[in-house]
Amino acid sequence: MVPRNENRRRTRMSKERIGFAGVGLMGRGMAKNIVDKGFELTVLGHRRRDAIEELKRHGAREAETARELAEASDIVILCVTGSPQVEAIVTGQDGLASAGKPLLICDCSTSDPSSTIRLATELSSKGIALIDAPLSRTPKDAEAGTLDVMAGGDEAAFERARPVLETFAQKIVHTGPVGSGHTMKLLNNFVSLGYAALYSEALALGAKAGVTPAIFDSVIRGGRMDCPFYQTFFQWVLDRDPEAHKFALANGLKDLSYLSAFANAAGAANPLGAAVRNAFALAVTTGHGEDYVPMLSDVTAELNGVSLRPDASNPD
């Protein structure tokens, strides 16, 4: 006998039509999992034509505008850069809201919580529900369907979105009311990007003293300070693997700027956040915005007059 919950899930899958906007590094794998796992999918046209064409081969259809995407969908997933892009897709000319129909919008972007809360209030009067469901992990996890999701919003809306989220996530946490998911995401990124800044500065100091990245790694790896983020970071440091952690320094700076605004609005002191943001700002303003987060280590080393490359010769 099929459990009642599974019957309900299958019925929903046969009825809910999914729209997806933002098939970039993360979104491509997410969208592919959605369509491959039985949902009817429409994707918004994107500059990455290779991603669009791949998804169409998997059975997705393409919409030319956000309004057209809304007309073809019951639930719309957004995976774009941040709040300005979300607001443009939702409330801009030919945006999702212009379709004038009830929708559930699930914002998987890393957005400003204040924008998310304001947008949710504005949309509710139009019969549109919004939940914020940002992501953790990497594009490889998006492809594998093993992302982590932290979701804020109304309980009923969250449960309605859950079967879709489960197609690309292995861990889903309901964090509370709308905006709490994006708040948690900023805290999550503060911790991870803070580690990136710490690793980078420690490696530069070590290189100054003749301690190579390989020696540093031999001490940290397998100990209490080891973690998956450390391991992907050091895939670049030691192996020069550019695919290890594909998250741009410019996006890190954007997230840390959101954190700073959130701290200011909350009246909270955030001195470590300011220091981490400055490390990313320095990298971006010196022309490294499109480099990935582990490459912060090279920027920091260079500014200190040393190199972390295996063949480098540094002063004792």
Tens-place pLDDT, residues 3-22: 444 544 444 455 799 999 99
> What are the pLDDT digits (tens) for 243-275?
899 999 999 999 999 999 999 999 999 999 999
Distance, in Å, from the CA atom of 97 to the CA atom of 99, rounded to the nearest integer, reads: 5
Take residue 101 and report the two structure tokens written for it: 């129909």
Q: What's the longest Cα–Cα distance across the chain?
A: 71
> What are the pLDDT digits (tens) for 108-147?
999 999 999 999 999 999 999 999 999 999 999 999 999 9
Burial label for 201, CB within 10 Å (0-12, 13-18, 19+), is middle
What is the Cα 2 distance to its own chain's centre? 35
| Banded model confidence at residue 48, pLDDT cuts 50, 70, 90 | confident
Residue 71 has pLDDT above 60, yes or no: yes
Taking residues 36-42, report their average pLDDT: 97
28 close to 83: Cβ distance less than 8 angstroms: no
CB atoms within 10 A of CB 245: 23
Question: No. of H helices and E strands in the chain?
Answer: 14, 9
> What Cα–Cα distance (Å) separates residue 274 from each residue in 147, 165, 183, 256, 265?
28, 33, 17, 8, 15
Take residue 56 and report the two structure tokens written for it: 């169409």
Give the residue numbers marked as catalytic. Answer: 185
The reported pTM is: 0.89
Q: Look at residue 83 and give its three-state secondary structure.
A: helix
Distance, in Å, from the CA atom of 280 to the CA atom of 157, rounded to the nearest integer, reads: 36
| Banded model confidence at residue 316, pLDDT cuts 50, 70, 90 | low
Q: Which helix (H) or strand (E) holds 277?
A: helix 271-283
